[in-house]
């Protein structure tokens, strides 16, 4: 596919496996045989097949050989887009409006957290309500940040690196407060995205975004397009 030889070898087997031409359990040629077939060194063959093994598409055992892996519980790539960019791509005007800002002092259970409530809008129409906690100690400077022009999420992305994140996606009925903020009826369905983000084991931020159901969707992909 790409110009390089090991990319060609890799995509060769990738497509043959994904198309079903090579079924799970089938044995692939040995590296020796592939050297001869493609007329290259063993390192090149190895460099081609290693990523497939890492991706779980094939399984390699010494002495036994290389086999097409059985399809397991698959995972897809979920794009977590920048809301501002997403809205702008739709040709709408994005804005974040800060609704509340409270500093919660540290107590026995956790360190000081800045509590931020706001709403993301597209062309002035509410898109999502956001409730966020930010660990003040891990995000120096956030207490003086201006969220009139930039959402807390964008500020954090630019200022605080993170190493780990977990996102939970659920549906929920709008509470009275959410209904008011978003301009929908109480009980209306919302797509809720709750994310916790850590840096070096310490919680950086905890955010819950409630999207108006018919105004937003998440997309996850699996496939050669990346």
Instruction: Return d(Cα 87, Cα 215) in angstroms, integer.
Output: 11
Instruction: Return d(Cα 18, Cα 223) in angstroms, integer.
Output: 9
Instruction: Return d(Cα 69, Cα 59) in angstroms, integer.
Output: 5
Q: Residue 144 touches which of a second copy, DNA, none (CB < 5 to 8 A by kind)?
A: none
Least Cβ distance, residue 171 to a second copy (angstroms): 4
Q: Residue 170 touches which of a second copy, DNA, none (CB < 5 to 8 A by kind)?
A: a second copy
Considering only 26-34, 109-117, 122-130, 163-171, which stretch makes contact with a second copy by CB under 8 A?
Answer: 163-171
Q: Residue 60 touches which of DNA, a second copy, none (CB < 5 to 8 A by kind)?
A: DNA
Round to the nearest angstrom and report the end-to-end CA distance of the chain.
Answer: 14
> DSSP labels for 94-114?
EEEEEEEEEEEPP-SSS--EE
Select from 9, 69, 17 the least CA-distant residue to 45: 9
Instruction: Return d(Cα 29, Cα 169) in angstroms, integer.
Output: 43
Do 166 and 157 contact (CB within 8 A), yes or no? Answer: no
Q: Residue 165 touches which of a second copy, DNA, none (CB < 5 to 8 A by kind)?
A: a second copy
Least Cβ distance, residue 108 to a second copy (angstroms): 27
Residue 64 or residue 105: which is nearer to DNA going by CB? 64
Instruction: Note whether 177 binds a second copy by CB under 8 A.
Output: no
Do 177 and 117 contact (CB within 8 A), yes or no? Answer: no
Q: Residue 219 touches which of a second copy, DNA, none (CB < 5 to 8 A by kind)?
A: a second copy
Q: What are phi and psi of 114, to 5 degrees?
A: -90, 125
Question: Which positions from 47 through 76 interact with DNA, judged by CB under 7 A?
Answer: 47, 49-50, 53, 60-66
Residue 95 or residue 172: which is nearer to a second copy going by CB? 172
Residue 116 or residue 156: which is nearer to a second copy going by CB? 156
Question: Which positions from 35 through 94 interact with a second copy, judged by CB under 8 A?
Answer: 71, 73-82, 85
């Amino acid at each position: 596919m790409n110009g390089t030889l090991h990319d060609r070898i890799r995509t060769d087997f990738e497509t043959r496996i994904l198309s079903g031409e090579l079924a799970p359990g089938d044995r692939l040629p040995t590296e020796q045989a592939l050297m001869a077939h493609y007329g290259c060194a063993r390192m090149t063959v190895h460099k081609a097949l290693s990523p497939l093994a890492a991706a779980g598409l094939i399984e390699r055992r010494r002495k036994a050989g290389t086999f097409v892996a059985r399809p397991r519980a698959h995972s897809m790539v979920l794009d977590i887009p920048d809301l501002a960019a997403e809205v702008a791509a739709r040709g709408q005007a994005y804005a974040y409006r800060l609704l509340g800002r409270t500093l919660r002092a540290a107590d026995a259970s956790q360190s000081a957290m800045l509590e931020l409530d706001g709403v993301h809008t597209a062309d002035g129409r509410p898109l999502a309500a956001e409730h966020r906690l930010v660990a003040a100690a891990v995000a120096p400077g956030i207490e003086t940040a201006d969220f009139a022009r930039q959402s807390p999420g964008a500020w954090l992305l630019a200022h605080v690196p993170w190493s780990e994140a977990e996102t939970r996606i659920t549906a929920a009925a709008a509470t009275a407060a959410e209904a008011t903020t978003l301009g929908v009826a109480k009980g209306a369905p919302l797509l809720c995205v709750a994310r916790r983000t850590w840096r070096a084991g310490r919680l950086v931020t905890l955010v819950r975004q409630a999207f108006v159901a018919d105004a937003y969707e998440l997309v996850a992909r699996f496939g050669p397009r990346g």
